[in-house]
């Protein structure tokens, strides 16, 4: 294995183990912390793939915003942080089987796609962030989805204010 | 990009050559050199805190008409070392019922988030940890670690005051991240680069503090709030929640938070110097590139002095004022500023540098005048309303 592959395997192990611990840990704040570690691992994977922008955005949005929001919600709503009840449902083998079938199908599908396993094409000399920005805002590429998404987010923002604000 | 001298580059090459002569191949030499830089940079960052604490205490003392530390060593210079000895020998207490791992992790994260910022600051031409093409976004991402650290510290201590401090943190640090990011966007917009080196290079002629003074002001206020020092030190308001999130910490763990806060403030000063005061550029840098490090440290210390000045001058604001100030003034101001500057910058992109920057400055002044007029009108109407609603106090109370 090359050094890059070793790094990839280590980071993937961190992501997977902490993802399992999110579900397994009984203390709900610990679960949130494992989630943060898992998300950091995904950011590290992006960094290994030389997608610096994706890595940083992953940290800003998932760790900075969403995970912080989750922890905040937990702190505000739960008096008892520990869940004493049973963690598994009695029907758990069935969804486990389904999940494994789904994973196998996805793995087969990705493996059969052309270009899997090939070396990534070298990036053009231009700054990838620059290219991404231009692609998002040029009319013949992704401008319409970008603007639709921003309108959707604005609607969500207004909706949140309408729901949360006191009616005067 | 023009290569402004290469003192640090030569130094790095010389070191790598030395390693290669010692029997390493080229990639191993580069790896060893990177590891050396990665080890040295945090060390330098942490050692900076020693003179900083002395400097800040002296400045605060002068601003408050006191002497400051003056017992240990000449001018109290050795006071910090005495404090270090004291803090190292203190008992390290973990309260009962605390979450031990998280409790120990929080101070480390608090410092790591600050030291991580140093990786992208360009100290001189060719002297930086790494030239990320998303440097500005990286700053925002590293900042989330500090927020996380304070929340964890507040939660894990099993203390209601600590938890209250953590709640305030979320309200404050996440709110003020919005104007901070908006103010960071302005240098990005003007330089056309997300990397800090590109931003410094774009300020060779005119510093961004002159073309976008409002953005610099936004940055100054928002970063003071991010570091959560007075007047934004609500999360450790002594009169309300004792010491806030770090109430249960003692010994070196408390020292970590303490050093982290000082260092964060100074790092924000360095960032302010990089983003708005031209970074390492200055007279004579072309011939003596090492001068760049002196310039950025002087500029960073100047911005840091502004932070200390504000800290010594303003009283702590209330939590509702803090949120109002952010969401009703700073954020809308940033949202108006960016399109305005974008339009002016784009419209005059063909004309000379001086005309473009003069127009940008004019746009800033116009927006500032508009904001001040609106604020003045609102204030006047509020005063009028208060005056018309005020009923004369009962005679018993009027004495």
Arithmetic mean of pLDDT, B314-322: 83
Report the distance separating Cα B160 and Cα B245, nearest Å. Answer: 9
| A130 to chain B: closest CA residue | B193
Which segment of A25-34, B12-21, B66-75 scores lowest on mean pLDDT? B12-21
pLDDT at B146: 82
Above pLDDT 90, what percent of chain B? 0
Q: What is the pTM of this model?
A: 0.82
| Chain A residues 57-86 with a CB less than 8 Å from chain B | 57, 59-60, 63-65, 67-68, 71-72, 75-76
Cβ contact, residue pair B151, A53, below 8 Å: no
| Average pLDDT of chain B, as a whole number | 81
Q: Which of A59, A60, A71 has its CB closest to that of B151?
A: A71
The per-residue DSSP string of A18-70 comes to: HHHHHHH-SBHHHHHHHHHHHHHHHHHHHHHTT-HHHHHHHIIIIIIIIIHHH
Contact status of B137 with chain A (Cβ, < 8 Å): yes
**Closest chain A C-alpha to B134 CA, distance in angstroms:** 6
Is the Cβ pair A64, B140 closer than 8 Å? Answer: yes
Lowest mean pLDDT among B3-12, B13-22, B374-383: B3-12
Joined together, the tokens standing for residue B46 give 């942490």
Give the pLDDT of residue A154.
93
Which of A59, A68, A127 is opposite residue B170, by nearest beta carbon? A68
CATH number, domain A1-81, options 3.30.70.260, 1.20.120.1200, 3.40.1190.20, 3.30.950.10: 1.20.120.1200
Report the distance separating Cα B272 and Cα B278, nearest Å.
9
From the list B132, B144, B166, which residue is nearest A59 (CB)? B144
Joined together, the tokens standing for residue B314 give 């303003």
- A56 at interface of B, judged by CB pairs closer than 8 A: yes
The answer to whether the Cβ–Cβ distance between A68 and B144 falls below 8 Å is yes
How sure is the predictor about B3, in pLDDT bands with cuts at 50, 70 and 90?
Answer: very low
pLDDT at position B161 is 81
What CA–CA distance (Å, rounded) separates A14 from B102?
18
Burial of B197: CB neighbours in 10 Å, binned 0-12, 13-18, 19+: buried
| Residue in B with minimal Cα distance to A27 | B99
**How far apart, in whole angstroms, are the C-alpha atoms of residue B167 and residue B178?**
18
Alpha carbon of B145: minimum distance to chain A alpha carbons (Å): 8
Tell me the H-state helices in B124-278. Answer: 135-156, 160-191, 196-202, 208-211, 213-227, 238-241, 251-276
Would you kindly state where each structural domain of chain A is located, as residue ranges? 1-81, 128-168
Burial B77-106 (b: 16+ CB within 10 A, else e): eebbeebeeebeeeeeebbeebbeebbebb
The answer to whether the Cβ–Cβ distance between B163 and A127 falls below 8 Å is no
Partner-chain contact B163 A56, CB within 8 Å: no
Q: What is the mean pLDDT of residues B235-244?
A: 69
For A44-91, write each residue's pLDDT tens digit.
888 888 788 888 888 888 888 787 788 777 777 766 656 667 777 788
pLDDT band per the 50, 70, 90 thresholds, residue A155: very high
Give percent of chain A with pLDDT exceeding 90: 23
Q: How many helices (H) and strands (E) does chain A have?
A: 7, 0
Alpha-carbon torsion, ordered B98, B102, B103, B106, to 10 deg? -150
Q: How far is B261 from chain A (nearest CA, A)?
A: 19
Residues contacting B131, CB < 8 A, separation 6+: B120, B122, B195, B196, B197
Q: What is the CA radius of gyration of chain B?
A: 24
Would you state the structure tokens that stand for residue B372, as one six-digit string?
Answer: 């001040």
pLDDT value at position A106?
93
Asked if B138's CB is within 8 angstroms of A71's CB, the reply is no
Highest mean pLDDT among A57-66, A89-98, B44-53, B388-397 belongs to A89-98
pLDDT of residue A78: 60
Dihedral of alpha carbons A41, A45, A51, A54, sign: negative
Alpha-carbon gap: B120 to the closest alpha carbon of chain A (Å): 13
Cα R_g (chain A), whole angstroms: 21
């Amino acid at each position: 294995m090359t050094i890059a592959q070793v790094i990839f395997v280590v980071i993937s192990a961190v992501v997977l183990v902490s993802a399992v611990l999110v579900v397994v840990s009984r203390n709900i704040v610990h679960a949130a912390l494992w989630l943060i570690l898992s998300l950091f691992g995904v950011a590290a994977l992006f960094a290994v793939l030389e997608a610096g922008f994706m890595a940083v955005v992953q940290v800003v949005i998932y760790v900075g915003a969403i995970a912080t929001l989750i922890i905040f919600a937990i702190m505000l709503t739960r008096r008892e942080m520990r869940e004493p009840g049973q963690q598994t449902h009695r029907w758990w083998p069935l969804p486990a089987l389904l999940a494994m079938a789904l994973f196998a199908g996805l793995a087969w599908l990705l493996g059969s796609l052309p270009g899997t396993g090939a070396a990534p094409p070298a990036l053009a000399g231009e700054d990838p962030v620059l290219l991404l920005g231009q692609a998002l805002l040029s009319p013949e590429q992704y401008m319409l989805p970008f603007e639709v998404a921003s309108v959707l987010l604005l609607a969500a923002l207004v909706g949140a204010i309408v729901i949360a604000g006191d009616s005067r | 990009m023009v290569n402004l001298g290469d003192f640090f580059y030569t130094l790095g090459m010389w070191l790598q050559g030395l390693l290669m002569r010692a029997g390493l191949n080229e990639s191993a030499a580069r790896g060893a050199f990177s590891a050396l830089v990665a080890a040295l940079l945090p060390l330098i960052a942490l050692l900076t805190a020693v003179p900083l604490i002395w400097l800040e205490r002296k400045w605060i003392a002068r601003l408050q008409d006191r002497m400051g530390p003056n017992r240990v060593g000449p001018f109290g210079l050795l006071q910090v070392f005495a404090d270090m000895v004291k803090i190292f020998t203190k008992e390290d207490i973990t309260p009962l019922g605390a979450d031990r791992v998280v409790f120990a992790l929080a101070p480390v994260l608090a410092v790591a988030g600050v030291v991580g910022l140093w990786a992208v600051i360009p100290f001189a031409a060719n002297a930086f940890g790494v030239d990320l093409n998303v440097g500005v976004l990286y700053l925002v991402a590293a900042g989330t670690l500090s927020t996380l650290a304070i929340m964890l510290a507040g939660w894990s201590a099993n203390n209601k005051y600590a938890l209250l401090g953590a709640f305030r943190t979320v309200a404050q640090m996440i709110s003020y991240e919005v104007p901070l990011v908006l103010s960071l966007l302005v240098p990005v917009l003007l330089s056309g680069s997300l990397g800090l080196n590109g931003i410094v290079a774009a300020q060779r002629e005119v510093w961004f503090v002159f073309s976008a003074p409002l953005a610099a002001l936004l940055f100054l206020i928002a970063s003071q709030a991010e570091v959560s020092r007075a007047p934004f030190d609500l999360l450790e308001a002594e009169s309300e929640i004792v010491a806030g999130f770090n109430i249960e910490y003692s010994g070196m763990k408390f020292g970590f938070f303490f050093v982290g806060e000082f260092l964060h403030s100074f790092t924000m000063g360095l960032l302010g110097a990089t983003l708005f005061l031209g970074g390492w550029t200055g007279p004579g840098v072309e011939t003596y590139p090492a001068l760049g490090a002196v310039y950025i440290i002087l500029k960073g210390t100047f911005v840091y002095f502004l932070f200390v000045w504000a800290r010594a001058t303003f009283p702590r604001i209330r939590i509702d004022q803090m949120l109002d100030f952010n969401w009703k003034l700073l954020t809308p101001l940033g949202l108006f500023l960016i399109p305005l500057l974008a339009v002016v910058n784009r419209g005059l992109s063909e004309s000379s540098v001086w005309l473009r920057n003069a127009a940008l400055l004019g746009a800033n002044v116009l927006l500032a005048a508009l904001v001040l007029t609106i604020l003045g009108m609102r204030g006047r109407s509020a005063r009028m309303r208060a005056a018309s609603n005020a009923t004369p106090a009962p005679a018993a109370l009027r004495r």
